Amino acid sequence: MHPERIRIVLVNTSHPGNIGGTARAMKNMGLSRLYLVQPKRFPHEEADWRAASAQDLLETAVVTDSLEAAVGDCQFVVGTSARERRIPWPLLDARQCAQRIAALPPSEEVAILFGREDRGLTNDELKICNLHLNIPTSDTYSSLNLAMAVQIVAYELRMVSTAPDTPVQEDAQWDSPFATRDNMERFYQHLEETLVDLEFLDPAAPRQLMTRLRRLYSRVRLDEMELNILRGILTEAQKWVARARKTPD
C-alpha cells in the first residue's frame, strides 16, 4: 500500500479546529494528502494551532467546490457512515477497510470521505462510494469527534502499511486500470438514460432502481475496458430504440 495514493476528504467541515486536528492525526500516521470540500472556515488560526507541527498539510490542502472535484480521479472511494441505510451497502470497520485498501493495486487513487460534524455524509454522497466504513462505538456514548475518527482510520492504515509480507491480492494483478469515479458517474448517467429510453425505468417513479444498480457495480468494480464495453452496449441499445420509434407499428 502506498500512503501517498490515499487522500483524506473532509466534507463541509464546520469547525476549523477539526481540520487542524485532522492534519495532525494524518501526519502522525504518515498520510499527507488532505482535501477539503467547501469548508465553512478555512484558512483559520484555530486550524493552525490545532495542527501543531502539521501545518504543512494545511498549506498543501486542496480546497474544492464539490465532492466530484475532490474524488473524480479516484478509482476507490470509501465513505464513513454511522447510520443504517434502507438499502445496505458493503460495510467494513476501520481495520477491515485498511486491509481492503492494502489489497488494491499500488497505482490506484483512494479517497476516504468524512462528513459533517452534525450529520455526516448525505445519502447521495454515500452512493458514490465503493464501500462504507463504520467505527463501532459504545452504545452508551456513540458520538465520535471528527479528528478522532480520522485518527482511528489513519492508525489502521499505518498498521497495515507497515505489516511484513502483505499478500498480493487479485486486484493488484488486474490487467486493466479500474474506472475512475468521474467515468463511473458518466456511466451511471448513460445507463439511466438508456433504461428510460427502453421504458424499463419510469422517471416519475424510479423507486430504488438506480441506487441498487449503483450498489451492484460498486461491489463488482469495473475496469476501464469493461466500462467501455458496457457503454458501447448502451449506445447500440439507444440506436435500436431510436430506429424502432421511426418504424411504423
Question: pLDDT per residue over 6-64, tens digit each?
Answer: 999 999 999 999 999 999 999 999 999 999 999 999 999 999 999 999 999 999 999 99
Tell me the CATH number at 202.
1.10.8.590
Asked whether 149 and 156 are in contact (CB, 8 A), the reply is: no
For residues 45 and 68, state if they share a domain.
yes
Domain closes at, from 169, 202, 218: 169
CA distance 224 to 229: 9
What is the pLDDT averaged over residues 140-155?
95
For residues 154 and 200, state if they share a domain.
no
Tell me the CATH number at 63.
3.40.1280.10
On average, the pLDDT of the chain sits at: 93
Bridge partners for 63 per DSSP: 36
DSSP codes joined into one string, 157-219: HHHHHS-SSPPPPGGGG-SSPBPPHHHHHHHHHHHHHHHHHTTSS-TTS-TTHHHHHHHHHHH
Q: Which amino acid is at 54?
A: A
* Structural domain boundaries, residue 10: 3-169
CA distance 76 to 84: 22
What is the pLDDT averaged over residues 197-206?
95
Question: pLDDT per residue over 170-182, tens digit each?
Answer: 666 788 999 999 9
For residues 158 and 182, state if they share a domain.
no
For residues 179 and 144, state if they share a domain.
no
233: CB partners within 8 A, 6+ apart:
none
Q: Is the pLDDT reported for residue 160 higher than 60?
A: yes
